[in-house]
């Protein structure tokens, strides 16, 4: 079983979770990719769990930290998220993971007052009326992780655990304290908050998923991955994907391709990670193997003398400035923006009009909002060695840029960012 594919839509560039965890901002693209994922996982004999119902990516906040809101109208939702869920349900998705995300427009349509609107995990109108009845899902519903803050801030945990089951969730994902959560459930059965019928229905759905996978007939439940993970076929696939995905967002001063004749000495500034981060060192070594001289800047060692660094000094020592951002998206991080050094932003591309400057993002497609003046901007999306290899080849002109933006790197097509094109 895999808690994937993620079928959220990256509608809000400020959302710190969805900008790299989704297939993009186009609902049709998300659907196409999710169907392909499901098809491949079905062939492996597994079960997918489409998530995070009713859909992340509209709110700019993180559902790991509190309830967030899908604020689309019911009609807008049905045309986007609803279409994705309905199609994958019709394709036979075994399970749906429910997020700590509310859908106010739908809850209001069912007469729920604003003060009583809760996340889908605790909302019978979303699980029973929308997911089961309108979308026709008859499989297993699982909560998202219940230790997430978004699960336990609307009601006391002793009520939240049984309420999730009573609302329609069949399986609880992760616990704060297993014995305590189990006791909450036992007590709710005694008090009639969760009925025996609802509990038996949940168990039946869990067993149904297992039976549909034939687990009761398999001698080996967990197949060996020896010779599979890291095999030549998969390595080549990773290289091909990197080659096809790296995107040139802009190069309006025609700095690319870089050459050893014009750009021999490279000033490499890492952002978001220290200078000795493995992927930064790999980037440096990759360029050095191509004949460039690379000096990685370490802001940790900068002193006051850097404050009056002259343009002439930079020109005498460097032919190209390369900024590499590795601001990784992760749970419980409320924003993924470039945060420059407090000391006069000394690690920023402040000299980009004086020295040819290339900005590469390895982990977030929206950094152009913070460096709109940079003339050459590349999105790599992933901070792995295959991506770095592809970027180096493309920067040198040995390989064409083939990537097509899956999201809008201009962050809502902002006119003020386009000013620098």
Give me the catalytic one of 56, 144, 170, 389: 144
Candidates 374, 356, 380; CA nearest to 283 is: 380
* 397 CB-near residues (< 8 Å, 6+ apart): 256, 257, 258
Environment class of residue 220 by beta-carbon count within 10 Å: exposed (0-12), middle (13-18) or buried (19+)?
exposed
- Please confirm, yes or no, whether 56 is among the known catalytic residues: no
Cα 136 from chain centroid (whole Å) = 28
Q: For residues 300 and 298, what is the distance between their CA atoms, to the nearest angstrom? A: 5
CB 87 within 8 A of CB 39: no
Structure tokens at 177: 């304290």
Structure tokens at 230: 């890291």
CB 148 within 8 A of CB 64: yes
Structure tokens at 320: 């190209």
Answer whether the bond into residue 5 is a cis peptide, omega within 30°. Answer: yes
Pairing verdict, β 140-145 and 49-53: unpaired
**φ and ψ at residue 38, rounded to 5 degrees:** -60, -40
CB 140 within 8 A of CB 99: no
Strand order in the sheet with 140-145: 49-53, 95-98, 140-145, 171-173
CB 99 within 8 A of CB 53: yes
Pairing verdict, β 171-173 and 140-145: parallel
Q: For residues 341 and 339, what is the distance between their CA atoms, to the nearest angstrom? A: 7
Q: For residues 376 and 251, what is the distance between their CA atoms, to the nearest angstrom? A: 4
Q: For residues 94 and 49, what is the distance between their CA atoms, to the nearest angstrom? A: 7
Which sequence positions are flagged as catalytic?
A: 144
């Amino acid at each position: 079983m895999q808690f994937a594919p993620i079928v959220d839509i990256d509608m809000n560039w400020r959302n710190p979770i969805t900008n790299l965890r989704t297939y993009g901002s186009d609902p049709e693209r998300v659907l196409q990719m999710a169907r392909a994922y499901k098809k491949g996982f079905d062939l492996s004999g597994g079960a997918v769990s489409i998530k995070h119902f009713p859909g992340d990516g509209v709110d700019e906040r993180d559902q790991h930290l509190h309830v967030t809101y899908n604020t689309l109208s019911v009609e807008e939702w049905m045309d986007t998220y609803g279409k994705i869920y309905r199609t994958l349900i019709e394709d036979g998705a075994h399970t749906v993971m429910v997020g700590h995300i509310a859908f106010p427009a739908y809850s209001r349509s069912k007469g729920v007052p604003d003060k009583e609107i809760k996340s889908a995990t605790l909302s019978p109108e979303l699980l029973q009326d929308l997911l089961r009845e309108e979308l026709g899902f008859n499989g297993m519903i699982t909560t998202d992780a219940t230790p997430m803050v978004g699960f336990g801030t609307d009601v006391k945990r002793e009520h939240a655990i049984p309420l999730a089951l009573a609302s329609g969730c069949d399986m609880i994902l992760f616990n704060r304290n297993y014995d305590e959560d189990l006791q909450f459930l036992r007590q709710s059965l005694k008090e009639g908050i969760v009925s025996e019928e609802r509990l038996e229905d949940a168990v039946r759905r869990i067993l149904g998923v297992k039976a549909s996978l034939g687990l009761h007939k398999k001698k080996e439940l967990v197949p060996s991955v020896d010779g599979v993970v890291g095999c030549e076929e998969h390595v080549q696939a990773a290289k091909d994907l990197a080659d096809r995905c790296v995107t040139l967002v802009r190069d309006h001063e025609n700095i690319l391709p870089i050459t050893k004749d014009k750009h021999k000495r490279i000033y490499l500034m890492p952002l978001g990670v220290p200078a000795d981060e493995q992927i930064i060192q790999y980037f440096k070594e990759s360029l050095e193997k191509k004949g460039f001289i690379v000096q990685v800047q370490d802001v940790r060692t900068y002193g006051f003398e850097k404050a009056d660094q002259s343009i002439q000094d930079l020109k005498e020592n460097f032919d190209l400035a390369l900024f590499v951002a590795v601001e990784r998206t992760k749970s419980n991080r409320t924003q993924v923006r470039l945060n420059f050094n407090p000391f006069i932003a000394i690690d920023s591309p402040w000299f980009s009009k004086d020295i040819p400057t290339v900005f590469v993002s390895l982990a977030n497609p929206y950094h152009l909002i913070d460096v709109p003046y940079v003339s050459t901007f590349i999105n790599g999306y992933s901070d792995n060695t295959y991506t770095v290899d592809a970027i180096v080849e493309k920067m040198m002109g040995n390989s064409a840029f083939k990537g097509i933006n899956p999201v809008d790197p201009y962050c809502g097509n902002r006119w003020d960012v386009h000013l620098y094109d």
